[in-house]
Amino acid sequence: MRTRRPKGIHWIAILPAAILLAGCGEPAPPPVKSWPELQAFRDAAYNLEVTLTQDKNFRAAKKEAESFTKVVDDFEQAGVPSGFSTYQPAATQALELSRKLIDAISNASYTKAQQLVQQLSMEMGKLPQLVPPVE
C-alpha cells in the first residue's frame, strides 16, 4: 500500500523552516546599549593588536601600551554594568590578559606579546557588541 504525500509544495517548505527556526549554536548575547568603557577598551585593544601584528613596530607598541594601560584602568574601575553579570567572567579574563600583555610589552617580549594580543582578541569576542545610539 502506498502512502500519500500531501498535494502542493507546502511540504517542501517544512524541513527548511524547521531548520531555520531551530537555529544552530548558542544564541547571540543581547546587545548592550551603553557601556562606553567597553567600547574604549575594544578600540584600544584593536589599535594595539594592529600595531603588534600588522605594523610589527615594537617602539610604537610601547607607546600604544601606555595609552592602553589608562584605558584598562578605566575599564577595570567602571566594572560590568548591572544587569550584565553574564559578561563578568569574560571581562575579568580580558583584564587579566591585558595586564599580561602590558607586562610583556614593557619587558620587550615581542613574541609573547603577539600571542597574548591574539588571546585577548578571542576573549574580546565573548564580550557584547555595542549598539550605537540612534540620534
Distance CA 58, CA 110 (A): 7
> Does residue 22 carry a pLDDT above 60?
no
Confidence of residue 30 (pLDDT cuts 50, 70, 90): low
pTM (2 decimals)?
Answer: 0.64
Q: What's the pLDDT score for residue 82? A: 75
Confidence of residue 21 (pLDDT cuts 50, 70, 90): low
> Does residue 19 carry a pLDDT above 60?
no
pLDDT of 96-134, one tens digit each?
888 898 888 888 888 898 888 888 888 888 877 765 555
Q: What's the pLDDT score for residue 17? A: 54
In which element (H, E) is residue 24 found?
A: none
3-state helix, strand, coil in the chain (%, to 5): 65, 0, 30
Confidence of residue 49 (pLDDT cuts 50, 70, 90): confident
Task: Provide, rounded to the nearest whole percent, the portion of the chain with pLDDT above 70.
Answer: 70
Which three three-digit cell numbers place residue 60? 610604537
Average pLDDT of the chain to the nearest whole number: 76
